[in-house]
Amino acid sequence: MKKFLLDYNLKVRLPVIIFVIATVFVITYYISYAERNSIGYAPSQPINYSHKLHAGSVQIDCKYCHTGVNFSRTANVPSVDVCMNCHSISRKDKPEIQKLTNYFENNTPLHWKRVHKLPDFAYFSHSLHVNKGIDCLNCHGDLKLMEVVTQVNSFTMGACLDCHRNPQNKIIDYHKLTNIKKGPEHCSACHR
């Protein structure tokens, strides 16, 4: 009887348990993939700013606000005074703009929710990529269509390497870019 029980445990019970655990793991892994990589993350911001309106309909260039994007490692979220360039005159009656004006006049810091983030140990340079001619939408998605900024691509090392290895498959309008071959793949390109 003992022997039978052991056989049963080894031949049936154990494989079934392992199979169930593995399946659950694999399914969870794939289902949660987007979630883990923050794809679809769209936090509500202190001011309901619409990229669709500004970048899409009004067609303001990205660099008008994100001034650091071709000078610095960081793209720069615009300081409040950049908004006030226009909004000290335009749409002053709108409640969101009045909120903005309040921030400006009271000198209160404006805490935007961060949407895209790389870990601290990865050093990504906006200026290097943008100056090579890589469009913002390759990583950030088409912000001209976004009412609320949402993360569309995953920001993992795998995603970076995908593009560095096969830029022709990943980069939109790759054939138009003249001075791009491939991205570096060694560790010290990003980690220092």
Binding residues vs other proteins (CB under 8 A): 35, 38, 41, 43, 67-68, 70-74, 76-82, 103-104, 107-117, 119-121, 123, 125, 127-128, 131-132, 179, 184, 186-189, 191-192
Query: CB of 147: closest distance to other proteins in angstroms?
Result: 19
Structure tokens at 163: 């593009």
CB neighbours of residue 65 within 10 Å: 20
Q: Which helix (H) or strand (E) holds 184?
A: none
DSSP 79: P
Closer residue to other proteins, CB minimum distance, 169 or 188:
188
Closer residue to other proteins, CB minimum distance, 92 or 113:
113
Query: CB of 120: closest distance to other proteins in angstroms?
Result: 7
Candidates 158, 171, 116, 136; CA nearest to 55 is: 136
C-alpha dihedral sign at 104, 150, 32, 117: negative
Query: CB of 165: closest distance to other proteins in angstroms?
Result: 14
d(CA 170, CA 163): 6
Closer residue to other proteins, CB minimum distance, 55 or 149:
149
Query: CB of 18: closest distance to other proteins in angstroms?
Result: 24
d(CA 159, CA 161): 5
Burial class (CB in 10 A: 0-12, 13-18, 19+), 38: middle
Closer residue to other proteins, CB minimum distance, 98 or 131:
131
Query: CB of 72: closest distance to other proteins in angstroms?
Result: 4
Closer residue to other proteins, CB minimum distance, 39 or 137:
39
